[in-house]
Amino acid sequence: MDVSSAVEKFLKTIYNLELRHQKASGSNMASKLNISPAAITDMAIKLAGQGLINYQKHKSITLTPKGKKIALLASRKHRLWETFLHRTLNLNLDEIHVEAELIEGYTSEFLLGKIDEYLGFPEHDPHGDPIPDKKGVLPEEQAFFPISESSPGSYQIERLYFESDELNDFFTEYEFKVGDILELVLIFKMDNALLIKRNKVTMVISENIGSKILVSKLNE
């Protein structure tokens, strides 16, 4: 099924919201895609008619299996380009998303396959998000969890959610990267802020920032 880049982006946005356990409401979609709620409604009605999404007025939009397959293949393009831009051109994590968005819609399957091969068939992008294979199948992985929902101990960063300019600035300024080791020292009861130690530097981060850092527990 041939789909436009606009449809791919719409479905990919729903998938990414679901991946982060957020609702694909009309307002959330409008904010993410920077278009009007009315335009979201029009697109949702159209795609529901094509069997790509489940849509009911005033309820969250969800993907059908058919829509999810398209979303996964669109995510594959985006995440491979992000990986290429980061590894090959040394673009920062806060730069690769926008640049990938600009070029992914013009990428043939042939070129995408060559990029995948050149990169060594990576299973995760620089943010830690899984990269589907050419059939839209995700790599097997263990369940990760936010550091904000953890207990004191040592953890490895597995995924970073760059969901706002403020988060982009924070993760870039303090050089947070997938694979970094951090120690959760304490969670403050008053506001659930976290005292963490990383690269011999101790800092306090908010519960909101902690919820955007997914980790795995290290064996003590």
Query: Tens digits of per-residue pLDDT, 166-190?
Result: 888 899 889 899 999 999 999 999 9
In CATH terms, the fold of domain 145-217 is SH3 type barrels. (2.30.30)
Could you tell me which of 205, 156, 145 has the C-alpha nearest to residue 180?
156
* pLDDT at residue 220 in the model: 62
**pTM assigned to the model:** 0.81
Q: How far apart (Å, rounded) are the C-alpha atoms in residues 130 and 126?
A: 10
Tokens 């920062």 correspond to what residue? Answer: 92
The pLDDT tens digits for 116-163 are 999 999 999 998 889 999 999 998 877 889 999 999 999 999 999 887
Q: Which residue has the higher pLDDT, 18 or 74?
A: 74
The pLDDT tens digits for 185-218 are 999 999 999 999 998 899 999 999 999 999 999 9
The pLDDT tens digits for 82-92 are 999 999 999 98
The pLDDT tens digits for 10-43 are 999 999 888 887 889 989 999 889 999 999 999 9
Q: How far apart (Å, rounded) are the C-alpha atoms in residues 107 and 112?
A: 7
Listed by start position, the domains of the chain span: 5-68, 145-217
Tokens 């099924």 correspond to what residue? Answer: 1
CATH architecture of the domain 5-68 equals: Orthogonal Bundle (1.10)
CA atoms 160, 161, 167, 172: torsion sign:
positive
3-class secondary-structure state, position 36: coil
Residue 144: C-alpha distances to residues 38, 85, 140, 160, 220 (Å): 36, 25, 12, 11, 18
Contacts with 49 (C-beta within 8 Å, 6 or more apart), sequence order: none
CA atoms 137, 141, 145, 146: torsion sign:
negative
The pLDDT tens digits for 98-118 are 999 999 989 999 999 999 999
The greatest distance separating any two alpha carbons of the chain, rounded to the nearest whole angstrom, comes to 55
Evaluate whether 5-68 and 145-217 have a shared fold: no
